[in-house]
């Protein structure tokens, strides 16, 4: 059974944390996909969900910076006419 390297696991775990943060801010799967795309990470969305196994390679390849999430959420709230939140 192949093992995943430590750097890949750290990226994956960090990206899963980013997904959880975005979900807590009421982001849909499409919103999350858009945020990750800003960071150069392509995610697959199926039926309003982000399937882990289909996205595993992308989640392990590159880490999405927290700063990208904060900027995305700020932009999202500006477009909705709301005050920016601190994530």
Q: Taking the model in full, what pTM does it have?
A: 0.86
pLDDT under 50 in the chain at which residues? 1
**pLDDT for position 80:** 79
Q: What is the pLDDT of residue 71?
A: 97
CB of 15 closer than 8 Å to CB of 59: yes
* In contact, 30 and 37? CB cutoff 8 Å: no
Tokens of 1: 């059974």
Cα distance between residue 52 and residue 55, in whole Å: 5
The DSSP output letter for 49 is B
pLDDT at 82: 59
Q: What is the pLDDT of residue 3?
A: 75
């Amino acid at each position: 059974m192949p093992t995943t390297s430590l750097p890949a696991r750290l990226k994956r775990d960090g990206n899963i944390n980013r997904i959880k943060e975005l979900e807590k801010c009421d982001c849909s799967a499409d919103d999350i996909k858009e945020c990750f795309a800003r960071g150069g990470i392509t995610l697959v969305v199926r039926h309003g969900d982000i399937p882990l196994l289909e996205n595993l390679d992308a989640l392990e390849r590159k880490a999405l910076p927290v700063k990208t999430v904060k900027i995305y959420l700020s932009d999202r709230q500006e477009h909705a006419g709301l005050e920016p939140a601190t994530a």
